[in-house]
Structure 1
Amino acid sequence: MSPSLVCKGLRALARDVFIYDLQDFDTLLGGLVLAAGVTNTNFYTMVNIIINVLPPGPFFLQNDNGTTVVRDTQPLLPGRYFIVADGTIQVVLTRTMSIQSGTQTGSFRNQVRERDGRCVAVHIFPLAYEHQWLHGGWSQRITIPAQRGGSINSVQNGLLLRNDIHQLFDLYHFSINPDPDNEGIAGTSLDDPQRPLDVLLQWHFRQDVLTNMRGAGEPHFEHDFPPGSDIMGDIRDGPNAAERMEFELFGRLAHHMDINSEEKQDEEDEQGGNVSDKG
């Protein structure tokens, strides 16, 4: 994908569901690309994420015919939907977080692989957002400490995904909503104490909704650069260049940081063992 196509609003091009305030038909508040399995109840949950009603109060949705959309398990239909509320409707403004990188550890990768099998270990709450992880109190949710590194490297903040799916997860092209009210299609109940925490999956789901549904959607970033391409140049010419550059550099260097950290720790462990033997 060329940089000229990586533009604000690209996520909205394929939308077939559109959201408006009943009092303002001209301003698009958001929308989504309708996928199989999305119900009316799911839609209410997602709309509640992207808007604020001031003063706080309930809202409901109407379709183009003026019929109230019931919160039920019926499949959501394509079309325009209108938010009805007594207060003023505002779109949530912020999602993007400044990047302050944490340090990835091999023990995180190994623990997730031991729990789930093969493929690539991915942080649910991105490692690059460790500053927000700490200041937002997310570390207090962890009950299984990380073997090395900070609490963000706990196995409870990890999933094992195929490499290409890992990239889609990082870009919020899909997410996992652990809400027990969702209609299940297939799957297994997880009772392993090391399983990913629901609150972290809910956080990622919220970021996914804000990224894709709010307004025209956030910029779509290229991630599958062909061999020989000018990766840094494409990023500089694209949207949110500074943030994207920092995130990309961290992601590509994390593996090398991981290896160096593990080798250094192994050397220290060996030296410590030698000292104790002499004693």
Structure 2
Amino acid sequence: MSADPGAGRLPPLREIIARHGLSASKALGQNFILDEQLLDRIAAIPGPLAGERAYEVGPGPGGLTRALLRAGAELVAVERDRRCLAALDETGAAFPGQLRVIEGDALAVDEAIEAGPAHVVANLPYNVGTALLVRWLGGEAWPPWWKSLTLMFQLEVAERIVARPGSGAYGRLAVLAQWRSLPRLAMKVHRSAFVPPPKVMSAVIHIVPKPQPEGVRSATLERLTAAAFGQRRKMLRRSLQSLPGALEALDRLGIDPSRRAETLSVEEFVTVARELSAARTG
């Protein structure tokens, strides 16, 4: 017998989906996972969640939701698809007091107020996943409101998050993810695990924050990487010429301006951003 109180009162996910007439919306970037063992494995990635607060974006019919509730999380879930709300209410009723559902667009929710501090665990809708990640990685306040991020992405995006300098996947997203947090590729997920199956493979990324390097503003690093990788095939002397003080910073640091952005390490980007941050406050 299952140890969690809700398991015996919830029908299989396929029955929930059929009863509520749900189908994945392409417009909302939805792809459902029905394999409960896989969902339990994803819910376990952040570590023990019993008594911990968790935050989920785009729960859909509630597959990952019930896995997080089974793990003992106190869950806040944001869903903009009204069709899914009745199914989520049914899931919440099986786990009294553990689930709060917010109807709305996750991009408009103040997570720090509604959920934080929390472990974010989500099979993110493809059409907003990267935008949400960049938002959660940004901002001057650090440590952030989230304790960890466990997020499903297309495999190509996941590889960009963990990429190393010099690789084809290395770019702005890698620098923003790695300069003050530790991302790892926790699990690859075959396309056949989803309903409907997407055209590409997926992967789960796990990210935990680390101390922020001193003397560096997040906004400065964001501007620097946007300029550097906005014209990634060009040398830094060309891609950074529109960013005030950037070429002078390269000269002071002894970084060859004929290099291209993908050859600079995360640490080198941080060093340049520190020079620019100092110049701005000096």
Q: Report if TM-score (shorter chain) is over 0.5.
A: no
* Structure with larger Rg: 1
Structure-2-length-normalised TM-score:
0.28
Higher relative contact order (CA 8 A, sep 6+): 1
Structure-1-length-normalised TM-score:
0.28
